[in-house]
């Protein structure tokens, strides 16, 4: 800055440096020179005075450094002149009342932008300039159309070329939205918050008030509710502006919730400045217990968007951090699964169409229906205005589509919905034949016929019915169909999801099971390749693929051919009229006209259709080779290709099956079984000292009849141990660990693999206090397996639960429910009471439903109305016998009222209704303990699966077990979260008696399924004692002969026993009477292992 003193000094310097003054006539010139020098000096230097800004105010600093007064540069707001709009033009009113000429404010049209649509999807409509990603690259759609089953590059422009794989872990735009909006819709850092203002509830306007801020416009759903810390002046609007004010809520009152009026889309609220940092506005009726900000980063509350931005920047994945070990396209290319590698075997949409429409193909509620328009040949497929008609949505059409007509017009479109042709129909009933290439049709329908319009496939009229979907044959609503479609999309198997775990040739080449190794029966055609029985008489198809009618021709069905091989065909009079070529997908690719008597399929051809003359139909012979052959009948033959002397048959007859079975039986070579499949045992068995241990060979095998005699077992350190053929039998006499070892022998009795396990013998001397909980089905409800423990060392043992065991002596507290599955323990029920299912929101505790506790207090017999589900509750006295509500409810206890079909919670003085969605039910062992005052547990014994897999087959087991394990893991995780140090015992259920002895398919199926469950539980939960997870393998240690109850029957009614020496059980035959539960002796064996593991884990 240059101050005035510097200017004076500069003038004085210029004057003193000038020569003596010339005559008067030159004085002006001298002054001009001095001023010119001064101007130049000022120009070359910064003459901007020192100053300060405060918003729109400015003040200057004097030479002595003192600031001058503030000067406000912002003028008062002017009035908006009167004006009128005409389109994009505006005209302003003059003072005399006239209007100026309109001024057009519309600018030149900009270039069309693009729209990002995310990852490319098959069978989806894309508009021109839509941008998609696929396999790591980015594409722009060139024209409107529907995508096919694979991306066609001709329809797209490549915007960015990526690698060949866009895998499950690829970072794409749709996967990188980390920052989201939480439940709190008030953003305290929104620039539209107005400090020193508050909202007038009765006008929606703002007024001055230095203790408040007026919030930004917050979007809200009409008809919902708002929850706040306290009610302050609030206004609702239909739009984000004051002029759209609807109504408001005044301050005051104790309520913290209020309804959103109809028509409201936004709200503003007055908020005290002192409360801004902790203020929450939540859609609903319940505020979160802890403060939540407006922004959420990966599910965690963050109030400062700038902090989030900085954290992302600091933790960004950049090439310098990944370079050495980054997964890039070059490293994935060779072993990855990409579209061109799975195309031939891909699961295409048409192969997976579980969701189908009913007979009616016209959906009257489809969003693409166009009212007050018509479509047809004269509109070239476009919809034109017409108030007498409506145009349907695009309807898929097949070769013949039938519909009732009321003078309709029709337009046909190809797969990409490009118009092909159309027609006009004036009759009342018409069957239409879409032209070649047509995949879609739209119909013009008079409004009078709109409600009864019917489109169905076939050439016969069908009665009207409404539009609906079928899912695997089950009728579902349109809304349910949308849910199913979305769910199937989520679960769809896509290239991206299987890339990392795909089975590729390079991974299985050495030991791969290929089709050639598994084709035991090979189907082939005999010498004659032409099947007269499948021809279309009076039809032909020429070399261009065109199909037509002609009584002089006959058209064959598809005939499979080999590329490069010559085929010869001839009838009594002629050879081929046409040979039409098709690819492996049976799509037309070419053909030959007047081919004579021979053709050779070129590359890309997998099938042909031949057109012959009708006069040759009974004599035509088609063979592989260059020479014609005498006519013979068309036959299909079946060969057993694995045989040394191939078996051949002309039909899949019982005799061929018998020959195959005989061959396999005589020539089978039994490979070594896989441990965990044919054979498995637990890695450790806890057993009480002085009690006999039995490990039953039959119980360890999936197929006992096949592998009995192939298991050798022994145990070290225990005298008198013996393998009887039925079991490894021993009795540990001292505390310690004893090693089980042995071998599994293959079909040639060579060692297939070694067997290793342990017996952990436990002394019965520990009487330290221990809290035990047993959870399960009818085995736990009976509770008989606890009797050994309670008879031997009951001191210090406490069982906990809200039920009592029904059959044990003594009865103990438990969580056992007859007939229950794991699903019932982890799913909310409004009929039964699932003890571990509670609201995950807030401090709510679910105490059950009213109807359940009424029945529980009635004491129904176990055999009546599933009384065993209502009896045996030691907490039933806490509920009113008439209403089913708790007698002494706590704040936030929740009940489901069956009579009203609603949830209610106790607010301390009354039961208030609450929405199920607000409660957000889930598994919470911590809230189960809180609800019922369950003390800290040392050991939890889970015995589940008996009912979960009762109806399973070997085919369905894998899918059922995957769901079972997911639920099991969620329950275990909830228990460990509530009790980090608890020991969890996974009990493996017993089977269903001896294999092959009862001769009942259901029983044999159960035995194999439960052995599969045994294998799976060991594979997933054994060897995890470091995580406090332990295995109790009851399946292998309960006698299948004598551990199950027996019933007896005479061999036949007239049997007298004359062939026996005495009238004993020899006169009768025994069978297992209960294939689900073991008998008293079986429970005693089970109880030994239970006692051993409790003693081992006891504090």
Convert the pLDDT of each residue in 131-162 to its tens digit. Answer: 888 877 788 888 888 787 777 878 888 877 65
Q: What is the mean pLDDT of residues 506-514?
A: 50
Mean per-residue pLDDT over the chain, rounded: 80
Give 996's pLDDT tier (boundaries 50, 70, 90).
low
pLDDT value at position 323? 43
Structure confidence at residue 388 (pLDDT): 87
Whole-number pLDDT of residue 348: 46
**Lookup: tokens for 682:** 């637990």
The rounded distance, in Å, linking the Cα atoms of 864 and 872 is 14
Report pLDDT for 511.
45
DSSP for residue 460: S
* Percent of the chain topping pLDDT 70: 73
Element (H, E) at 224: none
What's the rounded mean pLDDT across residues 615-632?
Answer: 93
pLDDT (tens digit per residue) in 110-132? 666 778 888 888 878 888 888 88
The pLDDT score that the predictor gives to residue 676 is 44
Which residues have CB under 8 Å from 280's CB, separation 6+? 183, 184, 186, 227, 228, 229, 287, 288, 291, 292
Q: CA torsion sign, 744 to 745 to 746 to 752?
A: positive
What is the radius of gyration, based on Cα positions, of the chain?
A: 43
List, as one string, the DSSP characters of 380-418. TT--EEEEEEEEPPPEE--SSEEEE-SS-EEEEE-TT--
Angstrom CA distances, 564 to 90, 599, 604, 708, stand at: 77, 9, 10, 54
What is d(CA 567, CA 219) in angstroms, rounded to the nearest whole number?
A: 74
Give the other-Cβ count within 10 Å of 14's Cβ.
16
CB atoms within 10 A of CB 145: 19
Neighbours of 744 (CB within 10 A): 21
Using a 10 angstrom Cβ sphere, with 0-12 exposed, 13-18 middle and 19 or more buried, the burial of residue 293 is buried
Residue 121 is predicted with a pLDDT of 85
How far is residue 1037's CA from residue 1046's CA, in Å, rounded to a whole number?
19
The residues facing 1069 across adjacent strands are 1049
Distance CA 863, CA 281 (A): 53
Question: Which residues, 6 or more positions from 873, have their beta carbon under 8 angstroms from its beta carbon?
Answer: 802, 803, 804, 856
Between β-strands 845-849 and 636-640, what pairing exists: parallel, antiparallel or unpaired? unpaired
Contact criterion met (CB below 8 Å) for 409 and 449: no
Q: What CA–CA distance (Å, rounded) separates 6 from 534?
A: 113
**Spatial CA neighbour of 42 closest among 87, 1, 86, 89:** 1
Left, alpha or beta for 690 (phi > 0: left; psi -120 to 50: alpha)? left
Give the tokens for residue 661: 């079975």
Q: Give the 3-state secondary structure of residue 880.
A: coil
C-alpha to C-alpha distance for 767 and 789, rounded to whole angstroms = 11
Res 938 pLDDT > 80: yes
pLDDT at 848 over 90: yes
Higher pLDDT, 271 or 41: 271
Query: Under 8 Å CB-to-CB from 237, ≥6 apart: which residues?
Result: 204, 217, 244, 245, 246, 264, 265, 266, 267, 268
Residue 841 to residue 289: CA distance in whole angstroms:
9
Element spanning 713, H or E = strand 711-715
pLDDT at residue 687 in the model = 97
Between CA 248 and CA 200 the distance in angstroms is: 8
Q: Give me the percent of the chain exceeding a pLDDT of 90.
A: 41
Are 1032 and 988 spatial neighbours (Cβ–Cβ below 8 Å)?
yes
Reported in sequence order, the residue ranges of 968-1095 that DSSP labels E, i.e. its strands, are: 983-988, 1029-1033, 1046-1049, 1069-1072
pLDDT of 898 strictly over 70: yes
1012 three-state secondary structure: helix
Amino acid 674: pLDDT: 46
Helix (H, G, I), strand (E, B) or coil at 877: helix
- State how far the Cα of 729 lies from the Cα of 946, in Å rounded to an integer: 27
Please state which of the ranges 289-303, 435-449, 979-993 shows the lowest mean pLDDT.
289-303
Residue 352 has pLDDT above 70, yes or no: no
Q: For residue 847, name the pLDDT band (cuts at 50, 70, 90).
A: very high
Instruction: Note the pLDDT of residue 981.
Output: 94
* Contact (Cβ atoms closer than 8 angstroms) between residue 780 and residue 767: no
What is the enclosing helix (H) or strand (E) of 234? strand 234-237
Give the Cα separation of 395 and 1043 in Å (integer). 64
Contact 569, 622 (CB under 8 A): yes
CA dihedral 122, 123, 124, 128 (to 10 degrees): 90
**pLDDT score recorded for residue 316:** 52
Q: What is the mean pLDDT of residues 634-661?
A: 66
CA 670 to the chain's CA centroid: 40
Q: What is the largest CA-CA distance in the chain?
A: 170
Q: Is 732 left (phi over 0), alpha (psi -120 to 50) or beta?
A: beta
What kind and span of H or E run contains 693?
strand 693-696
Q: Which two structure tokens, joined as six digits, stand for 831? A: 């009929």
**Measured between alpha carbons, how far is 493 from 122 in angstroms, rounded to an integer?**
13
Given 3.40.50.460, 2.60.40.10, 3.30.420.10, 3.30.200.20, which CATH number is that of 685-763? 2.60.40.10
d(CA 911, CA 929): 23
pLDDT at 328: 44
Q: End-to-end CA distance of the chain: give it in Å, rounded.
A: 85
pLDDT for residue 351 is more than 50: no
What pLDDT score does 1069 carry? 63
Categorize the per-residue pLDDT at 334 as very low, low, confident or very high, splitting at 50, 70 and 90: very low
pLDDT (tens digit, 9 = 90+) per residue, 354-403?
A: 567 778 888 888 888 999 998 988 888 888 888 888 999 998 887 555 65
- Please report the pLDDT score of residue 779 as a whole number: 93
By C-alpha distance, which of 838, 833, 924 is closest to 871? 833
Is pLDDT above 60 for 505?
Answer: no
Beta bridge pairs of residue 125: 146
Task: Kindly report the three-state secondary structure assignment for every residue of 716-751.
Answer: CCCCCCEECCCEEEECCCCCEEEEEEEEEECCCCCE
Query: What is 115-162's CATH number?
Result: 2.10.10.90
Q: What is the pLDDT of residue 172?
A: 46
The residue-averaged pLDDT of 419-446 equals: 79
For the chain, helix, strand, coil in percent to 5 are: 25, 30, 50
Higher pLDDT among residues 715 and 998, named by residue: 715
Alpha helices in 17-76, H assignment, sequence order: 27-44
Supply the pLDDT for residue 708. 81
Q: At 431, is the pLDDT very low, low, confident or very high (cuts 50, 70, 90)?
A: confident
- The pLDDT of residue 501: 55
Instruction: Please count the helices (runs of H) and the strands (runs of E) in the chain.
Output: 22, 70
What is the mean predicted confidence (pLDDT) over 589-602? 93
Q: What pLDDT sits at residue 885?
A: 97
Q: What is the CATH number of domain 765-811+942-1099?
A: 3.40.50.1110
For 178-187, the pLDDT digits (tens) are: 455 678 888 8
Residue 171 pLDDT greater than 60, yes or no: no
* Sheet with strand 736-745: strands edge to edge: 685-688, 751-762, 736-745, 711-715
Whole-number pLDDT of residue 936: 96
- Predicted confidence at residue 707, as pLDDT, reads 80
Distance CA 846, CA 838 (A): 5
| pTM of the complete model | 0.46
Contacts of 582 (CB under 8 A, 6+ apart): 558, 588, 589, 605, 606, 607, 608, 609
pLDDT in tens, 1042-1053: 887 776 677 777
Q: What's the confidence (pLDDT) of residue 75?
A: 77
The order of strands in the sheet holding 57-60 is: 51-54, 57-60, 71-72
- Maximum mean pLDDT: which of 338-347, 723-732, 881-890: 881-890
> Which CA distances in Å does 120 have to 152, 490, 1017?
11, 15, 40
317 has pLDDT over 70: no
**Rounded distance, CA 1033 to CA 1015, Å?**
11
The domains of the chain are located at 1-68, 115-162, 179-314, 359-467, 535-629, 685-763, 765-811+942-1099
Taking residues 275-304, what's their average pLDDT?
A: 75
């Amino acid at each position: 800055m240059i101050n005035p003193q510097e200017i004076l000094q500069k003038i004085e310097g210029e004057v003193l440096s000038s020569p003596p003054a010339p005559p008067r006539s030159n004085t002006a010139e001298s002054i001009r020179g001095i001023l010119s020098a001064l101007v130049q000096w000022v120009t070359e230097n910064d003459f901007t005075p020192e100053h300060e800004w405060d918003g729109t105010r400015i003040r200057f600093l004097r030479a002595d450094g003192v600031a001058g007064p503030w000067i406000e540069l912002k003028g008062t707001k002017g009035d908006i002149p009167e004006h009128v709009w005409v389109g994009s033009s505006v005209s302003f009113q003059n003072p005399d009342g006239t209007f100026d000429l309109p001024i057009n404010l519309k600018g030149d049209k900009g270039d069309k932008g693009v729209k990002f649509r995310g990852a490319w999807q098959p069978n989806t409509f894309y508009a021109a300039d839509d941008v998609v990603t696929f396999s790591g690259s980015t594409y722009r759609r060139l024209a409107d159309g529907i995508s096919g089953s694979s991306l066609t590059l001709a329809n797209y422009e490549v915007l960015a070329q990526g690698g060949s794989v866009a895998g499950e872990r690829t970072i794409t735009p749709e996967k990188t939205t980390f920052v989201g909006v939480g439940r709190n819709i008030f953003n305290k850092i929104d620039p539209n918050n107005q400090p020193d203002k508050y909202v007038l509830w009765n006008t929606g306007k703002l007024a001055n008030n230095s203790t408040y801020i007026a919030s930004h416009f917050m979007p809200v759903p009409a008809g919902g509710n708002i929850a706040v810390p306290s009610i302050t002046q609030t206004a609702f609007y239909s739009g984000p502006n004051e002029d759209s004010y609807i109504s408001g809520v005044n301050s005051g009152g104790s309520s913290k919730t209020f309804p959103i009026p109809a028509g409201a889309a936004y709200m503003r609220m007055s908020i005290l400045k002192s409360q801004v940092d902790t203020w929450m506005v939540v859609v609903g009726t319940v505020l979160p217990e802890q403060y939540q900000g407006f922004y959420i980063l990966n599910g965690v509350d963050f109030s400062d968007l700038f902090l989030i931005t900085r954290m992302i920047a600091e933790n960004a994945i950049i090439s310098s951090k990944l370079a050495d070990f980054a997964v890039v396209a070059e490293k994935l290319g060779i072993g990855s699964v990409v579209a061109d590698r799975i195309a031939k075997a891909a699961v295409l949409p048409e192969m997976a169409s579980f969701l189908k429409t009913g007979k009616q193909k016209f959906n009257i509620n489809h969003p693409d229906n166009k009212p007050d328009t018509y479509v047809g040949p004269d509109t070239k497929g476009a919809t034109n205005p017409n108030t007498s008609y409506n145009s349907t949505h695009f309807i898929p059409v097949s070769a013949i589509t039938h519909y009732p007509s009321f003078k309709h017009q029709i337009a046909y479109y190809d797969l990409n919905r490009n118009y092909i042709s159309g027609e006009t129909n004036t009759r009342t009933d018409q069957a239409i034949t879409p032209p070649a290439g047509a995949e879609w049709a739209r119909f013009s329908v008079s409004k009078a016929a709109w409600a009864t319009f019917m489109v169905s496939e076939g050439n016969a009229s069908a009665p009207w019915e409404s539009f609906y979907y079928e899912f695997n044959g089950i009728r579902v609503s349109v809304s349910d169909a949308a849910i199913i479609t979305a769910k199937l999309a989520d679960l769809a198997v896509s290239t991206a999801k299987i890339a990392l775990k795909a089975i590729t040739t390079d991974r299985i080449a050495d030991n791969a099971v290929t089709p050639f190794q598994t084709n035991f029966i090979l189907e082939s055609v005999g010498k004659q390749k032409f099947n007269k029985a499948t021809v279309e008489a009076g039809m032909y198809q020429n070399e261009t693929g065109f199909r037509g009618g002609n009584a002089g021709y006959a058209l064959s069905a598809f005939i499979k051919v080999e590329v490069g091989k010559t085929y010869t065909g001839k009838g009594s009079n002629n050879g081929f009229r046409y040979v039409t070529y098709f690819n492996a997908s049976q799509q037309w690719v070419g053909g030959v006209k007047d081919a004579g008597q021979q053709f050779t399929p070129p590359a890309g051809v997998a099938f042909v259709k031949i057109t012959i003359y009708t006069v040759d139909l009974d004599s035509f012979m088609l063979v592989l080779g260059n020479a014609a052959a005498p006519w013979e009948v068309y036959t299909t033959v079946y060969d057993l290709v694995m045989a040394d002397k191939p078996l051949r048959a002309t039909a899949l007859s019982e005799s061929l099956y018998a020959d195959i079975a005989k061959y396999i039986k005589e020539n089978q070579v039994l490979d070594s079984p896989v441990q965990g499949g044919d054979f498995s045992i637990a890695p450790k068995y806890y057993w009480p000292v002085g009690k006999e241990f039995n490990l039953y060979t039959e119980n360890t095998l999936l197929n006992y009849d096949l592998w009995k005699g192939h298991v050798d077992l022994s145990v070290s350190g225990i005298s008198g141990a013996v393998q009887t053929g039925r079991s490894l039998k021993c009795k540990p006499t001292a505390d310690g660990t004893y090693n089980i070892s042995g071998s599994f022998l293959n079909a040639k009795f060579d060692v297939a693999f070694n067997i290793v396990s342990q017996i952990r013998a436990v002394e019965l001397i520990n009487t330290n206090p221990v809290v035990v909980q047993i959870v399960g089905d009818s085995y736990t409800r009976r509770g008989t397996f606890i009797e050994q423990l309670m008879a031997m060392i009951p001191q210090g043992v406490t069982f906990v639960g809200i039920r009592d065991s029904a059959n044990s002596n003594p009865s103990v507290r438990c969580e056992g429910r007859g007939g229950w599955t794991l699903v019932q323990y982890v799913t909310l029920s409004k009929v039964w009471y699932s003890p571990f299912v509670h609201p995950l929101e807030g401090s709510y505790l679910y105490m059950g439903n009213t109807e359940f506790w009424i029945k529980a207090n009635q004491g129904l017999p176990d055999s009546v109305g599933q009384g065993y589900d209502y009896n045996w509750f030691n907490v039933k006295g806490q509920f009113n016998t008439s209403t089913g509500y708790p007698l002494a409810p706590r704040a936030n206890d929740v009940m489901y009222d069956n009579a009203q079909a609603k949830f209610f919670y106790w607010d301390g003085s009354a039961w208030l209704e609450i929405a199920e969605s607000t409660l957000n039910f889930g598994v919470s062992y911590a809230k189960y303990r809180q609800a019922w005052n369950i003390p800290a547990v040392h050991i939890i014994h889970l015995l589940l699966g008996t009912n979960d897999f009762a109806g399973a087959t070997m085919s369905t087991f894998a899918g059922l077990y995957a769901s079972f394990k997911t639920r099991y893991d969620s329950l275990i995780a909830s228990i460990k979260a509530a009790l980090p140090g608890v020991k969890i015992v996974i009990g493996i259920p017993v089977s269903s008696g001896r294999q092959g002895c009862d001769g009942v398919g259901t029983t044999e199926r159960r035995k194999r399924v439960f052995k599969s469950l045994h294998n799976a539980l060991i594979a997933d939960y054994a060897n995890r004692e470091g995580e406090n997870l332990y295995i109790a393998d009851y399946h292998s240690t309960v006698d299948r002969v004598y551990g199950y109850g027996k019933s007896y029957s005479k061999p036949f009614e007239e049997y007298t026993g004359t062939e026996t020496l005495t009238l004993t059980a020899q006169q009768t035959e025994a069978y297992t009477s209960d294939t689900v539960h073991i008998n008293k002796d079986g429970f005693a064996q089970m109880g030994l292992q239970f006692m051993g593991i409790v003693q081992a884990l006891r504090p």
